[in-house]
Amino acid sequence: MTLPDVLIPTYVQMLKALSVWLAKAAAQKPDAGAEKLLSARLAPDMFPLATQIRFACVQAQEGIFRLQGQPFSPSVDTLLNEGRNAGEHPGSMADAQARIAETVALVEATAAKALEVDPATPIAHALPMGMIFDLTAEQYVRDWAIPQFYFHVMTAYAILRAEGIDLGKADFVAHMFAYLRPGTMPAQ
């Protein structure tokens, strides 16, 4: 199993789940109620839902570009700027869905290229405040790319739940139903 074998399906499955959660929110909060959710936060010092969505997309795109040893696409800067400004300009649910769809398409296109990465490849991961982490590709995927991605996805899920959207564990792991052994689903 390669690093992309782990990372790419993780990004695709969870971004698609996030898209479904937003669609459920739109259905459950019609008449612009869902749009208001984009400004919701778990705590006053946390970013709103609109930012969490964009930063989940950033993490997926950055992860793919870093593993390829490629410079970031301009879409990463766009997502970062939208995310940082989402408190004042959250955008719309359609905007959020478009960002997710664009990111899924980018990740799936990368998967089609059969990306090979040596787990020992050095990666220097610089943060905007000047800190730099020296990691191997394996450490980057395990200790940064996956946890950071899930942080933003899970925070988006938690915001939606806190705002009364009817979501449950099955919504979070919907991709698992493809593996369900026939005849083992509990009766309702």
Q: What is the pLDDT of residues 27-40, one digit of tens each?
A: 999 887 888 999 99
| pLDDT attached to residue 111 | 72
CB 167 within 8 A of CB 157: yes
Q: What is the pTM of this model?
A: 0.92
Please give the class, per CATH, of domain 3-179. Answer: mainly alpha
Using alpha carbons, select from 62, 40, 41 the residue that is nearest to residue 123: 62
pLDDT (tens digit per residue) in 8-29? 999 999 999 999 999 999 999 9
| The two structure tokens encoding residue 2 | 């390669």
